[in-house]
Amino acid sequence: MADPLHQFEIHKLIPLKLDGIDISFTNSSLFMVSAVLLTTVFLVGGMMRSQLIPGRWQSMTEITYSFVANLLDETVGLKGRQYFPFIFTIFMFILMGNLIGMLPYTFTFTSHIIVTFGLAVIAFGVATLIGFMRHGFHYFTLFVPKGAPVYMLPLIVPIEILSYLSRPISLSVRLFANMMAGHTMLKVFAGFTVALGIFGVAPLAVNTLLTAFEILVAVLQAYVFTILTCIYLQDSINLH
Protein backbone atom coordinates (compact mmCIF):
# COMPACT_ATOMS: atom_id res chain seq x y z
CA MET A 1 0.00 0.00 0.00
CA ALA A 2 1.29 3.48 -0.89
CA ASP A 3 2.50 5.61 1.95
CA PRO A 4 -0.36 8.01 2.82
CA LEU A 5 2.18 10.62 3.85
CA HIS A 6 3.92 10.49 0.50
CA GLN A 7 1.65 13.26 -0.77
CA PHE A 8 3.14 15.70 1.73
CA GLU A 9 6.71 15.32 0.49
CA ILE A 10 8.46 18.35 -0.84
CA HIS A 11 10.45 18.21 -4.05
CA LYS A 12 12.82 20.83 -5.28
CA LEU A 13 11.83 22.05 -8.72
CA ILE A 14 14.36 24.86 -9.10
CA PRO A 15 17.19 24.76 -6.57
CA LEU A 16 17.95 28.22 -5.23
CA LYS A 17 20.24 29.45 -2.51
CA LEU A 18 20.33 32.86 -0.88
CA ASP A 19 23.20 33.60 1.47
CA GLY A 20 23.64 29.92 2.13
CA ILE A 21 19.96 29.43 2.98
CA ASP A 22 18.01 26.99 0.83
CA ILE A 23 15.11 28.82 -0.74
CA SER A 24 14.51 26.43 -3.62
CA PHE A 25 11.36 26.70 -5.67
CA THR A 26 9.53 23.53 -4.65
CA ASN A 27 6.20 21.89 -5.44
CA SER A 28 4.86 23.73 -2.40
CA SER A 29 6.01 27.05 -3.86
CA LEU A 30 4.52 26.11 -7.21
CA PHE A 31 1.08 25.68 -5.70
CA MET A 32 1.42 28.84 -3.65
CA VAL A 33 2.09 30.73 -6.86
CA SER A 34 -0.83 28.89 -8.47
CA ALA A 35 -3.08 29.95 -5.62
CA VAL A 36 -2.04 33.57 -6.11
CA LEU A 37 -2.59 33.40 -9.87
CA LEU A 38 -5.91 31.56 -9.56
CA THR A 39 -7.18 34.05 -7.00
CA THR A 40 -6.17 36.92 -9.24
CA VAL A 41 -7.83 35.33 -12.27
CA PHE A 42 -10.95 34.57 -10.25
CA LEU A 43 -11.29 38.09 -8.89
CA VAL A 44 -10.07 40.14 -11.83
CA GLY A 45 -11.67 37.88 -14.44
CA GLY A 46 -15.03 38.06 -12.73
CA MET A 47 -14.88 41.83 -12.93
CA MET A 48 -13.60 41.99 -16.52
CA ARG A 49 -16.98 42.86 -17.94
CA SER A 50 -18.43 44.29 -14.79
CA GLN A 51 -22.10 44.97 -15.18
CA LEU A 52 -24.77 46.52 -13.03
CA ILE A 53 -26.62 43.21 -13.03
CA PRO A 54 -23.89 40.61 -12.54
CA GLY A 55 -23.50 37.38 -14.44
CA ARG A 56 -22.51 34.09 -12.78
CA TRP A 57 -18.80 34.68 -12.51
CA GLN A 58 -19.19 38.28 -11.40
CA SER A 59 -21.77 37.14 -8.83
CA MET A 60 -19.34 34.62 -7.39
CA THR A 61 -16.63 37.26 -7.13
CA GLU A 62 -19.00 39.73 -5.50
CA ILE A 63 -20.42 37.14 -3.10
CA THR A 64 -16.90 36.21 -1.98
CA TYR A 65 -16.12 39.89 -1.49
CA SER A 66 -19.26 40.66 0.49
CA PHE A 67 -18.90 37.48 2.54
CA VAL A 68 -15.51 38.54 3.86
CA ALA A 69 -16.58 42.19 4.12
CA ASN A 70 -19.58 41.21 6.26
CA LEU A 71 -17.41 38.96 8.38
CA LEU A 72 -15.07 41.84 9.10
CA ASP A 73 -17.90 44.30 9.69
CA GLU A 74 -19.65 42.01 12.14
CA THR A 75 -16.57 41.20 14.21
CA VAL A 76 -14.56 44.42 14.09
CA GLY A 77 -16.98 47.08 12.87
CA LEU A 78 -16.30 50.15 10.79
CA LYS A 79 -12.80 50.68 12.18
CA GLY A 80 -11.74 47.41 10.60
CA ARG A 81 -12.54 48.53 7.04
CA GLN A 82 -9.01 49.66 6.34
CA TYR A 83 -7.66 46.18 7.06
CA PHE A 84 -10.06 44.53 4.64
CA PRO A 85 -7.44 43.78 1.94
CA PHE A 86 -5.30 42.00 4.52
CA ILE A 87 -8.20 39.87 5.82
CA PHE A 88 -9.33 39.16 2.29
CA THR A 89 -5.83 38.07 1.29
CA ILE A 90 -5.67 35.65 4.21
CA PHE A 91 -9.06 34.21 3.34
CA MET A 92 -8.41 33.81 -0.38
CA PHE A 93 -4.89 32.44 0.05
CA ILE A 94 -5.98 29.73 2.49
CA LEU A 95 -9.19 28.98 0.61
CA MET A 96 -7.38 28.60 -2.70
CA GLY A 97 -4.61 26.54 -1.10
CA ASN A 98 -7.18 24.21 0.47
CA LEU A 99 -9.31 23.91 -2.66
CA ILE A 100 -6.40 23.38 -5.05
CA GLY A 101 -5.29 20.62 -2.70
CA MET A 102 -8.57 18.81 -3.36
CA LEU A 103 -7.59 18.22 -6.98
CA PRO A 104 -5.73 14.94 -7.57
CA TYR A 105 -1.95 15.13 -8.10
CA THR A 106 -1.75 18.54 -6.50
CA PHE A 107 0.04 19.57 -3.34
CA THR A 108 -1.75 21.09 -0.36
CA PHE A 109 0.60 23.72 1.02
CA THR A 110 -1.74 24.35 3.99
CA SER A 111 -1.04 20.80 5.18
CA HIS A 112 2.44 21.87 6.28
CA ILE A 113 2.74 23.16 9.80
CA ILE A 114 5.44 25.64 8.87
CA VAL A 115 3.20 27.28 6.27
CA THR A 116 0.17 27.51 8.55
CA PHE A 117 2.43 28.71 11.33
CA GLY A 118 3.85 31.34 9.01
CA LEU A 119 0.34 32.47 8.13
CA ALA A 120 -0.68 32.48 11.79
CA VAL A 121 2.38 34.55 12.69
CA ILE A 122 1.55 37.00 9.92
CA ALA A 123 -2.06 37.30 11.20
CA PHE A 124 -1.06 37.45 14.84
CA GLY A 125 1.87 39.78 14.15
CA VAL A 126 -0.20 42.23 12.14
CA ALA A 127 -2.94 42.22 14.80
CA THR A 128 -0.41 42.85 17.57
CA LEU A 129 1.34 45.54 15.54
CA ILE A 130 -1.93 47.32 14.92
CA GLY A 131 -2.73 47.06 18.64
CA PHE A 132 0.54 48.74 19.61
CA MET A 133 0.24 51.35 16.87
CA ARG A 134 -3.25 52.30 17.99
CA HIS A 135 -2.86 52.12 21.75
CA GLY A 136 0.86 52.19 22.51
CA PHE A 137 1.67 50.75 25.92
CA HIS A 138 -2.00 50.97 26.77
CA TYR A 139 -2.34 47.84 24.66
CA PHE A 140 -1.04 45.82 27.63
CA THR A 141 -4.36 46.42 29.39
CA LEU A 142 -5.59 43.65 27.11
CA PHE A 143 -4.04 41.26 29.66
CA VAL A 144 -6.01 42.74 32.55
CA PRO A 145 -9.64 41.69 32.32
CA LYS A 146 -12.13 44.29 33.45
CA GLY A 147 -13.79 43.70 36.79
CA ALA A 148 -11.26 41.13 37.96
CA PRO A 149 -10.41 41.43 41.70
CA VAL A 150 -6.94 42.86 42.29
CA TYR A 151 -5.68 39.92 44.37
CA MET A 152 -6.48 37.63 41.44
CA LEU A 153 -4.41 39.64 38.96
CA PRO A 154 -1.08 37.88 39.66
CA LEU A 155 -2.82 34.71 38.53
CA ILE A 156 -4.94 36.10 35.75
CA VAL A 157 -2.37 38.24 33.95
CA PRO A 158 0.10 35.40 33.26
CA ILE A 159 -2.77 33.23 32.06
CA GLU A 160 -3.95 35.98 29.75
CA ILE A 161 -0.45 36.51 28.39
CA LEU A 162 -0.04 32.80 27.84
CA SER A 163 -3.35 32.48 26.06
CA TYR A 164 -2.47 35.49 23.94
CA LEU A 165 0.87 34.02 22.95
CA SER A 166 -0.66 30.65 22.19
CA ARG A 167 -2.97 32.18 19.62
CA PRO A 168 -0.65 31.66 16.63
CA ILE A 169 -0.02 28.09 17.74
CA SER A 170 -3.69 27.14 18.03
CA LEU A 171 -4.43 29.00 14.82
CA SER A 172 -1.76 27.18 12.85
CA VAL A 173 -2.22 23.73 14.38
CA ARG A 174 -5.98 23.82 13.73
CA LEU A 175 -5.57 24.44 10.00
CA PHE A 176 -2.58 22.15 9.58
CA ALA A 177 -4.16 19.25 11.50
CA ASN A 178 -7.43 19.50 9.64
CA MET A 179 -5.81 19.54 6.24
CA MET A 180 -3.29 16.84 6.98
CA ALA A 181 -5.78 14.50 8.64
CA GLY A 182 -8.28 14.89 5.83
CA HIS A 183 -5.78 14.25 3.07
CA THR A 184 -4.22 11.33 4.90
CA MET A 185 -7.63 9.77 5.38
CA LEU A 186 -8.44 10.20 1.70
CA LYS A 187 -5.17 8.53 0.78
CA VAL A 188 -5.72 5.65 3.23
CA PHE A 189 -9.15 4.91 1.82
CA ALA A 190 -7.81 5.21 -1.71
CA GLY A 191 -5.18 2.63 -0.71
CA PHE A 192 -7.95 0.31 0.55
CA THR A 193 -9.80 0.76 -2.72
CA VAL A 194 -6.80 -0.46 -4.70
CA ALA A 195 -5.91 -3.26 -2.27
CA LEU A 196 -9.40 -4.78 -1.98
CA GLY A 197 -9.99 -5.27 -5.70
CA ILE A 198 -13.69 -5.69 -6.42
CA PHE A 199 -14.57 -5.03 -2.77
CA GLY A 200 -12.83 -1.73 -3.10
CA VAL A 201 -16.20 -0.29 -4.04
CA ALA A 202 -16.98 0.19 -0.34
CA PRO A 203 -13.94 2.37 0.50
CA LEU A 204 -14.44 4.12 -2.85
CA ALA A 205 -17.95 5.12 -1.71
CA VAL A 206 -16.51 6.30 1.59
CA ASN A 207 -13.89 8.28 -0.30
CA THR A 208 -16.54 9.96 -2.39
CA LEU A 209 -18.31 11.14 0.74
CA LEU A 210 -14.98 12.10 2.31
CA THR A 211 -14.09 14.20 -0.72
CA ALA A 212 -17.31 16.16 -0.34
CA PHE A 213 -16.61 16.47 3.38
CA GLU A 214 -13.05 17.62 2.73
CA ILE A 215 -14.26 20.33 0.38
CA LEU A 216 -16.50 21.52 3.19
CA VAL A 217 -13.55 21.40 5.59
CA ALA A 218 -11.40 23.31 3.09
CA VAL A 219 -13.89 26.19 3.00
CA LEU A 220 -14.70 25.96 6.70
CA GLN A 221 -11.07 26.10 7.82
CA ALA A 222 -10.38 29.11 5.63
CA TYR A 223 -13.43 30.72 7.23
CA VAL A 224 -12.34 29.78 10.76
CA PHE A 225 -8.83 31.10 10.20
CA THR A 226 -10.24 34.34 8.83
CA ILE A 227 -12.80 34.89 11.57
CA LEU A 228 -10.20 34.23 14.27
CA THR A 229 -7.89 36.76 12.62
CA CYS A 230 -10.82 39.19 12.65
CA ILE A 231 -11.37 38.55 16.34
CA TYR A 232 -7.69 39.18 17.11
CA LEU A 233 -7.92 42.35 15.06
CA GLN A 234 -10.99 43.38 17.02
CA ASP A 235 -9.04 42.87 20.26
CA SER A 236 -6.22 45.08 19.02
CA ILE A 237 -8.54 47.80 17.73
CA ASN A 238 -11.12 47.93 20.49
CA LEU A 239 -9.25 46.35 23.44
CA HIS A 240 -12.02 43.84 24.28
Contacts to other proteins by CB under 8 A: 5, 8-10, 16, 18, 21-26, 28-29, 32-33, 35-36, 39-40, 43-44, 47, 50, 52, 54, 58, 61-62, 65-66, 84-86, 88-89, 92-93, 109, 111-115, 118-119, 122, 176, 180
Q: How far is the CB of 5 from other proteins (least distance, A)?
A: 6
Burial of residue 174 (CB within 10 Å: 0-12, 13-18, 19+) is middle
Q: How far is the CB of 88 from other proteins (least distance, A)?
A: 6
Phi/psi-derived region of residue 104, left when phi > 0, alpha when psi is between -120 and 50, beta in every other case: beta
Q: Are 184 and 145 in contact (CB under 8 A)?
A: no
Nearer CB in complex with other proteins: 26/226: 26
Q: How far is the CB of 32 from other proteins (least distance, A)?
A: 4
Give residue 130's identity as a one-letter amino acid code. Answer: I
Nearer CB in complex with other proteins: 61/75: 61
Nearer CB in complex with other proteins: 50/163: 50
Nearer CB in complex with other proteins: 97/203: 97
SS (HEC) of 82-136: HHHHHHHHHHHHHHHHHHHHCCCCCCCHHHCHHHHHHHHHHHHHHHHHHHHHHHH
Q: How far is the CB of 232 from other proteins (least distance, A)?
A: 17
Nearer CB in complex with other proteins: 180/203: 180
Q: Are 189 and 210 in contact (CB under 8 A)?
A: yes
DSSP for 64-96, written as a single string: HHHHHHHHHHHHT-GGGGGGHHHHHHHHHHHHH
Nearer CB in complex with other proteins: 177/219: 177
Nearer CB in complex with other proteins: 44/216: 44
Q: How far is the CB of 203 from other proteins (least distance, A)?
A: 23
Q: How far is the CB of 50 from other proteins (least distance, A)?
A: 5
Q: Are 124 and 232 in contact (CB under 8 A)?
A: yes
Please name the helix (run of DSSP H) or strand (run of DSSP E) that holds residue 18, with its range, or none: strand 17-18
**Alpha-carbon distances, residue 14 vs 8, 22, 25, 29, 94 (angstroms):** 18, 11, 5, 10, 24
User: What is the C-alpha to C-alpha distance for residues 228 and 150, in angstroms, rounded to an integer?
Assistant: 29
Q: How far is the CB of 190 from other proteins (least distance, A)?
A: 18
